[in-house]
């Protein structure tokens, strides 16, 4: 069925995009159905999937962030109290993460994001007073080579670099660099390029996954808003390497400033004739769904299909957007390509650790005295980073590293670890998106487990039973233990986690057991009264 819908959606091409039209409520469903020859039920099913398109949220005027970092900060109740002075409860909604993890107290209003602090009052926002909504975080370079935080001073020279390379030359340098994908999985990017090249097709696509929904992570937002030409160049270089003439940036709706920034820069490049007609960019705005960070769900979303995870193989490099070979990678991966081509893949491979090459952007949340974006060499000791960040503003018992599916590291454990893929993997943790969300000593671990199950339950695409049902049953177990003094059977919980880990189609359901097992292992004393 999905293949048929995909074929119908592809008839109009990426320029006349079905998903963007679905987001417009002023276009009736029957009109879209007639235009794309897709049943009304399919269009309604897609529209109702997304947070910002659901009927329940049509009357909402303001959305409070309920991302992990904002929750552990304890600031969101104050945000809600202040918003209630100006909005009714029916007008206040919730959103997954707004990327204000460095300040917390975040909310979305009128397609702008804000952090509520002493210098900013809600009434000033409502009255449209000027406010620089998301420039509070600092950017630090601790790397031996400044790859991702170096500013572009000459855009013409920056983009002319691509003309010096043949498609084979680009692939050769990327393979030499040993660049791994920065979205969490760490798959070799050179192999991804080769796979796409080896799949014959007249039409191929480059897709940038800018749906950075991991609470605690805002490194992609930094690149999109403050260093966008690294990302755009990387997409063009990948396009030349594999023979693609379209670059699609899928940017989450929770990052409105990122959408504006990228769109402005693309228009400027076209106006100044810095980029030609041989490569075209298209921005697809998300509509509120964490699962769209998973590559196949993201492709379905662009196509206007309900964003459920696809079974693999085939992989996107063979059967991607509209069934065509597609290079799909995240923002930071593309941002590395300029330095690699300018300085050589061999030079890049000399930076970092034995198996993790180059530099990495690390996102530190508001519990650090110096929160912000830090560029470090792969393999940089976390203990050194903590010293540079001046420690914490209060006592911290653990850090969740790598997003909501990342491991929970007690402070004594994370002080022994280096910031690279292999160090985390060897200790049974996940490097992921390289974001750090602190858990203060005052925050109960049973509450954190409840949050993890609830997050997964709410964000599951629903395609596979282990994730859809497992997360709901897990939430019920924890909620019953907290509110009705029900004791959790240890064997039942372990069986549930094993089923989710082994049976889920993607990392959302399959990754949830890791942080929960970490909590049970390292903080068992907190959970004794709940487990039997």
Mean pLDDT of 272-285: 91
Cβ neighbour number for residue 327 with a 10 Å cutoff: 28
Going by their DSSP bridges, the two strands 326-330 and 396-401 should be labelled as: unpaired
In DSSP terms, 409 is beta-bridged to 399
User: How far apart, in whole angstroms, are the C-alpha atoms of residue 490 and residue 301?
Assistant: 38
Q: Report residue 338 as tokens.
A: 């300029």
The pLDDT tens digits of the residues spanning 484-493 come to: 989 999 999 9
The domain ranges of the chain are 57-130, 145-349, 359-440, 445-527
User: How far apart, in whole angstroms, are the C-alpha atoms of residue 405 and residue 510?
Assistant: 9
DSSP string, 165-204: --HHHHHHHHHHHT-B-SSSS--BHHHHHHHHHTS--S--
The reply to whether 445-527 shares the fold of 145-349 is: no
- The confidence score (pLDDT) of residue 120 equals 65
User: How far apart, in whole angstroms, are the C-alpha atoms of residue 126 and residue 281?
Assistant: 34
- The overall average pLDDT reported for the chain is 93
- The confidence score (pLDDT) of residue 135 equals 54
The pLDDT tens digits of the residues spanning 104-119 come to: 999 999 888 998 875 5
Q: Report residue 92 as tokens.
A: 């206040």
- The confidence score (pLDDT) of residue 406 equals 87
Q: Which of 69, 78, 75, 67 is nearest to 122 (CA)?
A: 78
User: What's phi and psi for 115, nearest 5 deg?
Assistant: -120, 125
- The confidence score (pLDDT) of residue 164 equals 96
Q: Is 407 helix (H, G, I), strand (E, B) or coil?
A: strand
**Would you say residue 238 has pLDDT above 90?**
yes
Q: How many residues does the chain have?
A: 532
The pLDDT tens digits of the residues spanning 181-201 come to: 998 778 999 999 999 999 999
The domain 359-440 is placed in CATH, from the list 3.10.20.600, 3.30.70.920, 3.30.420.40, 3.30.450.40, at 3.10.20.600
The pLDDT tens digits of the residues spanning 43-78 come to: 999 999 999 998 888 889 999 999 999 999 999 999
In DSSP terms, 418 is beta-bridged to 381
The pLDDT tens digits of the residues spanning 146-178 come to: 999 999 999 999 999 999 999 999 999 999 999
CA 11 to chain CA centroid, Å, is 29
Q: What is the CATH number of domain 145-349?
A: 3.40.50.11540
Q: Which of 407, 465, 453, 408 is nearest to 432 (CA)?
A: 407
Q: Which of 447, 390, 441 is nearest to 411 (CA)?
A: 441
Of residues 337 and 183, more confidently modeled:
337
Going by their DSSP bridges, the two strands 435-440 and 396-401 should be labelled as: antiparallel
**Would you say residue 471 has pLDDT above 60?**
yes
DSSP string, 223-257: HHHH-HHHHHHHHHHHHHHHT--EEEEEE-TT-HH
- Which pTM was predicted? 0.95
CA dihedral 524, 529, 530, 532 (to 10 degrees): 80
* Percentage of residues of the chain with pLDDT beyond 70: 98
**Would you say residue 121 has pLDDT above 80?**
no
User: How far apart, in whole angstroms, are the C-alpha atoms of residue 439 and residue 444?
Assistant: 9
Q: Do residues 326 and 317 make contact, with C-beta atoms less than 8 angstroms apart?
A: yes
List Cα–Cα distances, 44 to 11, 32, 126, 304, 441, in angstroms.
20, 10, 33, 11, 45
Mean pLDDT of 508-524: 94
User: What kind and span of H or E run contains 259?
Assistant: helix 256-271
The pLDDT tens digits of the residues spanning 123-132 come to: 888 877 655 5
User: How far apart, in whole angstroms, are the C-alpha atoms of residue 455 and residue 173?
Assistant: 40
The domain 445-527 is placed in CATH, from the list 3.50.50.60, 3.40.50.720, 1.20.1440.230, 1.20.140.10, at 1.20.1440.230
User: How far apart, in whole angstroms, are the C-alpha atoms of residue 323 and residue 10?
Assistant: 9
Report the alpha-carbon angle 249-255-259, nearest 5.
Answer: 45
């Amino acid at each position: 069925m999905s293949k048929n819908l995909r074929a119908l959606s592809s008839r109009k091409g990426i320029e006349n995009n079905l998903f963007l039209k679905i987001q417009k409520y002023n276009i009736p469903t029957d009109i879209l159905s007639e235009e794309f020859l897709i049943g009304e039920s399919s269009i309604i099913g897609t529209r109702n999937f997304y947070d910002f398109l659901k009927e329940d949220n049509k009357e909402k005027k303001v959305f409070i962030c309920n991302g992990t970092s904002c929750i552990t900060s304890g600031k969101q109740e104050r945000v809600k109290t202040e918003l209630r002075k100006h909005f009714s409860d029916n007008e206040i909604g919730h959103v997954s993460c707004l990327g204000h993890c460095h300040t917390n107290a975040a909310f979305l209003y009128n397609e702008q994001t804000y952090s509520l602090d002493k210098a900013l009052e809600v009434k000033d926002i409502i009255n449209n007073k000027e406010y620089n909504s998301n420039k509070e975080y600092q950017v630090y370079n601790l790397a031996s080579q400044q790859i991702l935080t170096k500013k572009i001073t000459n855009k013409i020279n920056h983009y002319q670099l691509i003309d010096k390379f043949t498609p084979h030359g680009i692939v050769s340098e990327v393979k030499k660099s040993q660049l791994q994908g920065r979205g969490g999985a760490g798959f070799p990017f050179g192999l991804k390029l080769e796979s796409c090249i080896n799949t014959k097709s007249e039409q191929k696509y480059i897709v940038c996954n800018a749906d950075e929904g991991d609470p605690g992570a805002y490194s992609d937002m930094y690149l999109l808003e403050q260093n966008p030409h690294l990302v755009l160049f990387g997409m063009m270089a990948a396009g030349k390497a594999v023979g693609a003439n379209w670059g699609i940036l899928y940017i989450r709706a929770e990052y409105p400033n990122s959408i504006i920034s990228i769109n402005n820069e693309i228009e400027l490049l076209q106006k100044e004739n810095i980029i030609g007609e041989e490569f075209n960019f298209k921005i697809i705005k998300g509509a509120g769904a964490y699962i769209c960070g998973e590559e196949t769900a993201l492709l379905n979303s662009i196509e206007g299909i309900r964003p459920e995870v696809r079974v693999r193989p085939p992989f996107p490099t063979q059967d991607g957007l509209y069934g065509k070979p597609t290079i799909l990678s995240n923002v930071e991966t593309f941002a590395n390509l300029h330095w690699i081509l300018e300085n050589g893949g061999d030079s890049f491979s000399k930076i970092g650790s034995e198996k993790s090459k180059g530099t990495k952007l690390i996102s530190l949340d508001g519990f650090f005295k110096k929160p912000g974006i830090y560029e470090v060499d792969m393999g940089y000791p976390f203990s050194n980073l903590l010293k540079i960040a001046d420690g914490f503003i209060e006592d911290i018992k653990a850090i969740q590293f790598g997003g909501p599916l990342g491991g929970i590291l007690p402070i004594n454990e994370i002080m022994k670890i280096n910031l690279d893929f292999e160090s985390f993997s060897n200790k049974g943790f996940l490097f992921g998106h390289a974001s750090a969300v602190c858990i203060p000593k005052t925050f109960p671990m049973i509450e954190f487990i409840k949050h993890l199950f609830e997050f997964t339950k709410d964000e599951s695409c629903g395609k596979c039973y282990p994730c859809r049902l497992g997360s709901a049953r897990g939430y019920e177990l924890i909620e019953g233990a907290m509110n009705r003094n029900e004791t959790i059977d240890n064997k039942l919980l372990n069986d549930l986690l094993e089923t989710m880990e082994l049976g889920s189609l993607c990392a959302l359901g399959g990754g949830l057991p890791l942080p929960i097992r970490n909590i049970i292992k390292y903080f068992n004393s907190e959970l004794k009264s709940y487990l039997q």
